[in-house]
């Protein structure tokens, strides 16, 4: 191989290593942004769960009061609210499970990209 050929091969190897380093850095940046986004979603979903539990407790207390007072129409309305709150709570639980899984996978991706494990 000529001197020119060796030089070109070395330049090509250096360029490919440089490009792969840039690609890894961009991948790490993307994974970290995704991790921050998933953590934000998780905090939001947990706040929603707290709010839904509070609403559910209030609706149950109101239902008991309406039943004691014999107000059947109000009791039916409270039952509808309770069903809606339970549905929201189930939805939020599912979102939390998915967000936790996403956070776990994103952490693994960042570790793999940074440490090569």
Structure tokens at 52: 């839904």
Structure tokens at 69: 């007072």
Q: Is 73 buried (19+), middle (13-18) or exposed (0-12) by CB count in 10 A?
A: exposed
Reference 94, options 39, 45, 44; nearest CA is 45
* pLDDT score recorded for residue 26: 67
pTM of the model: 0.65
* Whether the Cβ atoms of residue 49 and residue 93 lie closer than 8 Å to each other: yes
Domain ranges of the chain: 3-115
Reference 50, options 93, 10, 99; nearest CA is 93
Encode pLDDT of 33-71 as tens digits: 888 898 899 999 999 999 999 999 999 999 999 999 999
Q: Is 92 buried (19+), middle (13-18) or exposed (0-12) by CB count in 10 A?
A: buried
């Amino acid at each position: 191989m000529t001197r020119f050929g060796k030089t070109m091969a070395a330049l090509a190897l250096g360029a490919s290593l440089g490009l792969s380093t840039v690609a890894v850095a961009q991948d790490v940046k993307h994974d970290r942004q995704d991790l921050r986004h998933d953590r934000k979603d998780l905090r939001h979903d947990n706040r929603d769960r707290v709010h839904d539990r509070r609403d559910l407790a209030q609706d149950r207390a109101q239902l008991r009061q309406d039943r004691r007072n014999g107000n059947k129409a109000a009791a039916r309305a409270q039952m509808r609210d309770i069903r809606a709150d339970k549905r929201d709570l189930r939805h939020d639980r599912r979102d939390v499970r998915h967000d936790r899984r996403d956070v776990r996978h994103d952490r693994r991706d960042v570790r793999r990209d940074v440490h090569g494990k």
